[in-house]
Amino acid sequence: MIKYSIRGENLEVTEAIRDYVVSKLEKIEKYFQPEQELDARINLKVYREKTAKVEVTI
């Protein structure tokens, strides 16, 4: 099971954004043992040039 910690810079992390991120990252759970406890840190950044960056650390 993965525990998600989602943080936004220059962006408010809404429930819709959180649900979208979790739905995408749930697909990688099949690569880990079911009994493993994992922490995932997700950092969402938005810049002035209308670009974005997403960092995921497991």
Classified by CATH at the fold level, domain 2-57 comes out as Double Stranded RNA Binding Domain (3.30.160)
Confidence of residue 2 (pLDDT cuts 50, 70, 90): confident
| Cβ partners under 8 Å of residue 44, min gap 6 | 6, 7, 8, 9, 11, 13, 17, 21, 52, 53, 54
Q: Which residues pair with 3 in a beta bridge?
A: 39
- As a whole number, the mean pLDDT across the chain is 91
**Residue 8 or 35, more confident:** 8
pLDDT value for 34? 81
Residue closest to 10 by CA, chosen among 56, 53, 58, 55: 53
pTM: 0.80
Task: Give 23-51 pLDDT, tens digit per residue.
Answer: 999 898 888 888 888 899 999 999 988 89
